Amino acid sequence: MEHVRDLKLLPKAHLHLHFTGSMRPTTLLELADKYGVHLPDALTGGEPPKLRATDERGWFRFQRLYDIARSCLRAPEDIRRLVLEAAEEDVRDGAGWLEIQVDPTSYAPRLGGLIPALEVILDAVESASRDTGLGIRVVVAANRMKHPLDARTLARLAVRYADRGVVGFGLSNDERRGMARDFDRAFAIAREGGLLAAPHGGELTGPASVRDCLDDLRATRIGHGVRAVEDPRLLRRLADKGVTCEVCPASNVALGVYERHEHVPLRTLFDAGVPMALGADDPLLFGARLADQYEIARRHHGFADAELAELARQSVRASVAPEDVRAKLLAGIDDWLAEG
C-alpha cells in the first residue's frame, strides 16, 4: 500500500483566492464585534452554508454574505491583518506562492478612495510577504455587474501598479450578467501593460462562457473553467493552448455547480491534458483552504500522489513566480514525491 504523504508538505502555488473570502472566521467575528456589525448565522462559524448559487436566490445570498464580511474591513490595519493571516494559512498548507485577487473599488469608500485603497492593499501584501517568506502578488479584478468603463479605469490603475506587485487582471461576479466582450477594451489595456488575463468563466454558465474568455478577452488563465468539459472541442483547445483552469472543488460543490465532490470534473480535465491550479476561492464561506482541495482530489477522485504532485507542478507553471521561486518549488515537489 502506498505511503500517504502529507498534502500540507506538498509545495504548491495558490492562484485563485479572493481577498475578503480569504479571511479566518475567527477574525471576522472579532472585526464584526469591533465595528458592531451583526453577522447572520451563516457567518458565525460551524458548518459552511449551502449556497446553491446556481439559482438567482442562491447567488444573491452568497453576494450578501460576502458584502457583510467585506463591510468589516474598514481600516488599513484590518487589511494588513487579513493579508498576513491569509499568507500564514497558505504557508501552513504548503504554498510557496500566492496570487490574491481583489477589486479595490469595494474597499475604496472606507480607505480614502481607489488609489489609496490599492496602495494599502499592496503595502499589506509586501509586508506579509516579508513576514512569512511567501511570495505574494495581486490580481486586480473588475466586477462584471458594473459598467465596462469602470473596468477600464481599473485596468489602467492596475497597469500603473505593475511594478508594485500587480501581475494580472481578472473579471469576477455573476457570469450570467455582462458579456465578456463588453470588457474587451479593459483587458486589452491590461495586456498591453504586461498583465496576465485571468477572467472567471465556466462556473455558473456553460462552455460558451469559457470560449468568450478565450476569444474576447484572450485569457491566459480561466477562473474555474470546469464547465468546459461539456464541449470536447473546447477541452482540446484549452489543452493545446496550455490555458490553465483555476479549479476550486469545494467552492463548486458549495455553490451547487455540482451536487457532490465526485461530480467535479477534475479527472476529465486532467486526463484531457488541461492544466489546472487548484484553489480555495473563498475559504471563509466554503470552509476549505488550499490543502483541502488536494485532499478532495485524492479522496473523491482517486488521484495518486504522483498525480497530485503533477497538479502542484501545474499550479507553479501557471503562476507568474520568478524563475528562482519556480525552480525551488518544483524541486520541492520532486523531493515530496521521492520521500515517500
Residue pLDDT, tens place only, 215-226:
999 999 999 999
Q: What per-residue confidence (pLDDT) applies to 340?
A: 67
pTM above 0.75, yes or no: yes
Q: What per-residue confidence (pLDDT) applies to 62?
A: 83
Rg value, the chain, Cα? 19
Q: Cα 45–47–49 angle (5° rounding)?
A: 95
Q: What per-residue confidence (pLDDT) applies to 205?
A: 87
**CB atoms closer than 10 angstroms to residue 287:** 17
Taking residues 176-195, report their average pLDDT: 93
- Crossing angle of the two packed helices 76-92 and 114-132, in degrees rounded to 10: 40
Whether residue 24 is predicted with pLDDT greater than 90 in this model: the reply is yes
- Nearest residue to 98 via CA among 121, 69, 129: 129
Q: Which amino acid is at 234?
A: L
Whether residue 8 is predicted with pLDDT greater than 90 in this model: the reply is yes
What residues form DSSP beta bridges with 196? Answer: 168
Whether residue 56 is predicted with pLDDT greater than 60 in this model: the reply is no
Whether residue 124 is predicted with pLDDT greater than 70 in this model: the reply is yes
Residue 132 grid cell: 512569512
Rounded to whole angstroms, the Cα distance separating 221 from 215 reads 13
pLDDT tens-place string over residues 67-121: 999 999 999 999 999 999 999 999 999 999 999 999 999 999 999 999 999 999 9
Q: What per-residue confidence (pLDDT) applies to 332?
A: 98
- Residue 331 is given by DSSP the state H
Among 203, 259, 262, 295, which one carries the catalytic annotation? 203
Would residue 203 show up in a list of annotated catalytic residues for this protein? yes
Task: Collect all residues with Cβ–Cβ distance below 8 Å to 135 and sequence separation of at least 6.
Answer: 96, 97, 98, 129, 321, 322, 325
Taking residues 6-13, report their average pLDDT: 98
Domains of the chain: 7-338 (3.20.20.140)
Question: pLDDT grade, residue 213 (50/70/90)?
Answer: very high
Question: pLDDT grade, residue 1 (50/70/90)?
Answer: very low
Query: Contact 273/242 with Cβ under 8 angstroms?
Result: no
Taking residues 255-271, report their average pLDDT: 95
Query: Contact 15/225 with Cβ under 8 angstroms?
Result: no
- How many angstroms separate the most distant Cα atoms in the chain? 58
Whether residue 41 is predicted with pLDDT greater than 60 in this model: the reply is yes
pLDDT tens-place string over residues 128-176: 999 999 999 999 999 998 999 999 999 999 999 999 999 999 999 877 7
CA 331 to chain centre: 24
pLDDT tens-place string over residues 278-334: 999 999 999 999 999 999 999 999 999 999 999 999 999 999 999 999 999 999 999
